[in-house]
Amino acid sequence: MSTETTTATTEKATFGAGCFWGVEAAYRQIKGVKSTAVGFMGGSRDNPSYEDVCYRGTGHAEVVEVEYDPKQVSYEDMLDVFWENHDPTQLNRQGPDVGDQYRTVIFFHTPEQEGAATASRGRREASGSYRRPIVTEIIAAETFWKAEDYHQQYLEKRGLSTCHI
């Protein structure tokens, strides 16, 4: 009998695709996703509140930080969920939500993620699926600032699975 122990290795992925409640709900349904957290990235203020981001022009995007097991779900699969759950041609808005905090953005954590995200965006652009150009930013991950507790798993706490209109 082996006494070896194996430890699960997880990776992080961070996506901004509009209101973080619906984005988080989409990722929580994927086999291999170990945890999610909603918060803010890409702005100028340390530890911003939801109110700061929405009303004080901090430049942060609403994002979901996903911890996943790459042996169960690939980063490319995570990218597919990103593209399929928002309109990447809308600049600084998604549906009725308007402001730079709702921008479409992929924050990469590794050079491999950057390459995969760039290639994925290229394939989507070449597909002819969109009537307008894709405006999704692909930029290096910065400090993730977790949103207030009441935002975490917001839809789940209310018995909802999506907030799509």
Rg of the chain (C-alpha set)? 16
The separation between the first and the last C-alpha atoms of the chain, rounded to the nearest angstrom, is 55
Report angle CA 123, 127, 131 to the nearest 5 degrees: 120
User: Tokens in use for 65?
Assistant: 């930080």
Find, among 72, 65, 67, 70, the residue nearest to 31 by Cα: 72
* Catalytic residue status for 163: no
Q: Please answer whether residues 165 and 57 qualify as being in contact, where contact means their C-beta atoms are separated by less than 8 angstroms.
A: no
Helix axes 75-84, 111-126, angle to 10 degrees: 40
- The rounded distance, in Å, linking the Cα atoms of 144 and 65 is 8
Per annotation, catalytic residue among 17, 19, 37, 81? 19
Q: Ramachandran region of residue 163, left (φ > 0), alpha (ψ -120 to 50) or beta? A: alpha
Known catalytic residues are: 19
